[in-house]
Amino acid sequence: MAKNTLLSDAKKAKNDEFYTQFADVEKEMNAYLEYNENVFCGKTILLPCDDPEWSNFTLYFAQNFEKLRLKKLISTSYAVESKKYLIKDWLPTLFEQQAPWYDVDKSKIKGKIFTLDHDTNKNGRIDIHDLEWRYLEGDGDFRSEEIKRLRDEADFIITNPPFSLFREFMAWIMEAGKRFAVIGNMNAITYKEIFPLIKENKIWLDNPFVRGAGYFTSPLELNKNLSYFNSHDYREGFIRVPGVRWFTNIEHGKRHQFMPLMSEADNIKFSRHKEVKGVGYKKYDNYDAIEVPFTDAIPSDYKGVMGVPISFLDKYCPEQFEILGMCENEDLYKMKTKKYSSDQCKQAYFEKFGKKGTYDLNASGVVLVDGKYEKVYQRILLRAKA
């Protein structure tokens, strides 16, 4: 295999091999249960892209099977040989080896399915000790017909899916119209397959992670090679992954809480941001909207369109705001009032950097600073609800 392919596979694997902590699963499920204690009652839950032998998703739902009054729990794993990286000296677990149906050939190339729906050991309760397992027909790829059938049987899909396949994974859930809670990277909100769903309130976010970063565990071989983790922190057995969120369509209370905001006049007087205090808000040159550089500086009484940072979605309450679109290249939301020519982009680059190049003004909101074009960061366009 070419060196470049190996490197890019390693990079993808880096993003795919993060394992979720029990407390993070529990915290998120509690948010749904606080809103509706019967949310999972009588339901079938599928945990795909998992590793049921040591997954905290499987552990949480198996342990809480009776408390949540589940109908059935299904958890599937992806075959070790199909993963994008190979675990050196990989061995099947003792748990697998001790099963009478353990098969040395299947062990590496087949996924596994774990199910829980009745009291197999007849001890009077249904819990983790009642999980039954077998090898899948295939490798457990969520795109396979075998796993699609499990998806169709389920009411809820809950997992931390491979980040490299996030678009495909979300499309896979949405085409089946399932309820879901999955962990993904905040960047995914800008995907043109994802953002329209957020705009239409078919998907929303939850951010229970401290300062927006998740701490995950990862296989030893990847941890050792810290160069794989140049953009992530690696500390005491955990990898800090910034910008992770839960993407979900399960109701939780936080999304219905109004954000406390000051009026435009008060922001100009009292804002803690020097960009706003005593300065006010700039109008975009290419959208009929004002630039609001911080979510907590959204003026409560502004009636027009506002461009706000994407982290606004952590505070988004659909009763308070209507999302209209985002600043992007293709004008997918038909909100651009101006398109810059390539000469203007070149000129803007020269004025900004004093050398030849092109400044892609059409990719974002643009404001004028001292008579020069200045692109702003990624912005969501919204309006306050009356």
Ligand X SMILES: C[S@@+](CC[C@H](N)C(=O)[O-])C[C@H]1O[C@@H](n2cnc3c(N)ncnc32)[C@H](O)[C@@H]1O
Q: Which is nearer to ligand X, 14 or 282 (by Cβ)?
A: 14
* Interface with ligand X, residue 136, by CB under 6 A: no
* Interface with ligand X, residue 206, by CB under 6 A: no
Q: What is the smallest separation between the CB atom of 49 and ligand X, expressed in angstroms?
A: 4
- Looking at the DSSP bridge assignments, the partners of residue 336 are 287
* Interface with ligand X, residue 140, by CB under 6 A: yes
Q: Decide if 374 contacts 362 (C-beta within 8 A).
A: no
Q: Which is nearer to ligand X, 16 or 130 (by Cβ)?
A: 16
* Interface with ligand X, residue 24, by CB under 6 A: no
* Interface with ligand X, residue 52, by CB under 6 A: no
Q: What is the smallest separation between the CB atom of 133 and ligand X, expressed in angstroms?
A: 16
* Interface with ligand X, residue 83, by CB under 6 A: yes
Q: Decide if 285 contacts 368 (C-beta within 8 A).
A: yes
* Interface with ligand X, residue 49, by CB under 6 A: yes
Q: Which is nearer to ligand X, 160 or 311 (by Cβ)?
A: 160
Site string for ligand X, 91-120 (x = CB under 6 A): ------------------------------
Site string for ligand X, 268-287 (x = CB under 6 A): --------------------
Give the sign of the dihedral formed by CA 261, CA 264, CA 270, CA 273. positive
- Candidate segments 161-169, 188-196, 200-208, 350-358, binder of ligand X by CB under 6 A: 161-169
Q: How many CB atoms lie within 10 A of CB 71?
A: 14
* Interface with ligand X, residue 75, by CB under 6 A: no
- Candidate segments 65-73, 138-146, 259-267, 278-286, binder of ligand X by CB under 6 A: 138-146
- Candidate segments 91-99, 156-164, 275-283, 351-359, binder of ligand X by CB under 6 A: 156-164
- Candidate segments 48-56, 185-193, 259-267, 273-281, binder of ligand X by CB under 6 A: 48-56
Q: Which is nearer to ligand X, 185 or 358 (by Cβ)?
A: 185
- Looking at the DSSP bridge assignments, the partners of residue 116 are 73
Q: Decide if 160 contacts 183 (C-beta within 8 A).
A: yes
* Interface with ligand X, residue 142, by CB under 6 A: yes
Residues that bind ligand X (rule: CB under 6 A) add up to a total of 19
Burial class of residue 108 (count of CB atoms within 10 Å of its CB; 0-12, 13-18, 19+): middle
Query: Which residues within the stretch 236-265 sit at the binding site for ligand X (CB under 6 A)?
Result: none
Q: What is the smallest separation between the CB atom of 243 and ligand X, expressed in angstroms?
A: 14
- Candidate segments 18-26, 195-203, 338-346, 348-356, binder of ligand X by CB under 6 A: 18-26
Residue ranges that bind ligand X, judged by CB under 6 A? 16-20, 49-50, 55, 57, 78, 83, 140-142, 159-162, 165
